[in-house]
């Protein structure tokens, strides 16, 4: 089986590199012909003359899409109609209705549909999921994430849509794919009209569990941190740290004479296997193609993340007013 990568930009070139190393890359395509030829030369592959040629080529069984988000739906839809398995970067589409259409089309055509939610393949996040599922942290009470940096400033989407899908996908996974009851989001626009550079999304789940996601491309230093607060212990994943990226901390809070007392939390590094998340993600896609099994990050996973993104965007437009996550048309699909 051979595949084609569509889009060779900031992230697409990493997908080209990885699939080329796995010896399954047939060709690539990019609207920028010069860029396409340069990348093809670097990785010893060819440039497809057109997307139509890729779709008509029976030797190409899958298409990997890493283009601007507004093009995802049409490119994925055409690939599925051609009977190709599809890997599409996050967000899967910009509208839930389009995502639902892709899910239904993939099922009708018996094709694999996978979304690029990379963090769910990070060995440290997988280990964190095990800690949560085993009850090591106790009952989950609060989760927060910070994804901050100076740049990469986008023109076609705001910081929420650019950065937050990573953390939304992980938070939902840690909470057994439960969707929040309501979302409120606020943000600030400073560099470009109508494109938020900074957003904070607050998620309320059933039984009082809460989460917040802080994203910004207007920040003096890089920070990528996920903190999980449980009733028994706390965990922190710091993707910027050079070592001990994942630690579990004691939660020493007592009540003495009506006053709370605390002790400085002690962090214990958590071991996890060292492996490149992108390689694991790409290998997972190939395994799903070979076994015809549903990916960990399938269309339904993409739909869950998209529903939270859309709700956050709606609240952002309403200046932080809480918005209910509506599942009227989504629930039958998400419950399958």
Identify the CATH number of the domain in which residue 90 sits.
3.40.50.720
What's the pLDDT score for residue 252? 77
Residue 114 and residue 126 share a domain: no
Residue 71 and residue 202 share a domain: no
Residue 310 falls inside a structural domain: yes
130 pLDDT more than 90? yes
What's the pLDDT score for residue 331? 61
pTM exceeds 0.85, yes or no: yes
Total domains in the chain come to 2
Residue 239 and residue 142 share a domain: yes
Residue 336 CA to residue 325 CA, distance in Å, equals: 18
Average pLDDT for the chain = 95
Residue 189 falls inside a structural domain: yes
Q: What is the DSSP string of 136-176?
A: TT-SEEEEEEEEEEE----SSS-HHHHHHHHHHHHHHHHTT
Residue 150 falls inside a structural domain: yes
Residue 121 CA to residue 171 CA, distance in Å, equals: 14
Backbone angles phi, psi at 94, to 5 degrees: -100, -10
335 pLDDT more than 70? no
Residue 87 CA to residue 198 CA, distance in Å, equals: 29
Residue 336 falls inside a structural domain: no
What's the pLDDT score for residue 290? 98
DSSP 44: T
What's the pLDDT score for residue 259? 87
The two tokens of residue 152 are: 């990469």
Residue 114 and residue 39 share a domain: yes
Residue 331 falls inside a structural domain: no
% the chain with pLDDT above 70: 97
Residue 210 and residue 125 share a domain: yes
Residue 99 and residue 223 share a domain: no
Residue 313 falls inside a structural domain: yes
Please write the tens of the pLDDT for every residue from 182-217.
Answer: 999 999 999 999 999 999 999 999 999 999 999 999
CATH number at residue 177: 3.30.360.10
Identify which of 177, 163, 72, 175 has the alpha carbon closest to the alpha carbon of residue 115: 72
Residue 330 falls inside a structural domain: no
Residue 125 and residue 270 share a domain: yes
Q: Which domain holds residue 244?
A: 120-275+306-324
Provide the terminal-to-terminal Cα distance of the chain, rounded to the nearest Å. 29
Grouping H, G, I as helix, E, B as strand and the rest as coil, residue 133 is helix
Residue 57 and residue 108 share a domain: yes
User: Is the peptide bond between 152 and the residue preceding it cis, with omega within 30 degrees of 0?
Assistant: yes
Residue 193 and residue 104 share a domain: no
What's the pLDDT score for residue 214? 98
Q: What is the DSSP string of 290-322?
A: HHT---TTBHHHHHHHHHHHHHHHHHHHTTT--
Residue 301 falls inside a structural domain: no
Residue 216 and residue 250 share a domain: yes
Residue 127 and residue 264 share a domain: yes
What's the pLDDT score for residue 255? 78
Residue 250 CA to residue 233 CA, distance in Å, equals: 5
132 pLDDT more than 70? yes
Residue 112 and residue 129 share a domain: no
């Amino acid at each position: 089986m051979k595949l084609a990568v569509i889009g060779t930009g900031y992230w697409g070139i990493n997908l080209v590199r990885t699939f080329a190393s796995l010896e399954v890359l047939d060709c690539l395509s990019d609207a920028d012909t010069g860029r396409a030829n340069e990348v093809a030369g670097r990785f010893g592959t060819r440039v497809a003359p057109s997307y139509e040629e890729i779709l008509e080529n029976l030797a190409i069984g899958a298409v990997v899409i890493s283009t601007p988000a507004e093009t995802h739906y049409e490119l994925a839809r055409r690939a599925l109609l051609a009977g190709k398995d599809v890997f599409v970067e996050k967000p899967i589409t910009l509208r839930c209705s389009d995502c639902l259409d892709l899910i239904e089309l993939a099922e009708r055509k018996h094709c694999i549909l996978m979304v690029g939610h990379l963090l769910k393949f990070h060995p440290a996040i997988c280990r964190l999921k095990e800690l949560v599922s085993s009850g090591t942290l106790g009952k989950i009470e609060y989760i927060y994430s910070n994804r901050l940096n100076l740049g990469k400033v986008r023109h076609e989407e705001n910081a929420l849509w650019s950065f937050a899908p990573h953390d939304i996908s992980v938070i939902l996974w840690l909470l057994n794919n439960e969707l929040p009851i309501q979302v409120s989001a606020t943000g600030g626009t400073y560099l470009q009209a109508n494109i938020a550079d900074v957003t904070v999304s607050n998620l309320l789940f059933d039984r009082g569990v809460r989460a917040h996601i802080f994203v910004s491309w207007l920040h003096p230093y890089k920070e990528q941190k996920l903190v999980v607060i449980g009733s028994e212990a706390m965990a922190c994943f710091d993707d910027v740290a050079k070592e001990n990226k994942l630690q579990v901390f004691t939660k020493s809070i007592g009540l003495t004479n009506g006053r709370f007392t605390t002790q400085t939390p002690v962090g214990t590094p958590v071991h996890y296997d060292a492996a490149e998340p992108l390689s694991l993600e790409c290998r997972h896609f190939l395994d799903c193609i070979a076994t015809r099994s549903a990916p960990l990050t399938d269309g339904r996973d993409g739909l869950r993340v998209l529903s939270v993104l859309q709700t956050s965007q709606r609240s952002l437009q309403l200046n932080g007013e809480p918005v209910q996550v509506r599942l009227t048309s989504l629930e039958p699909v998400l419950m399958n």
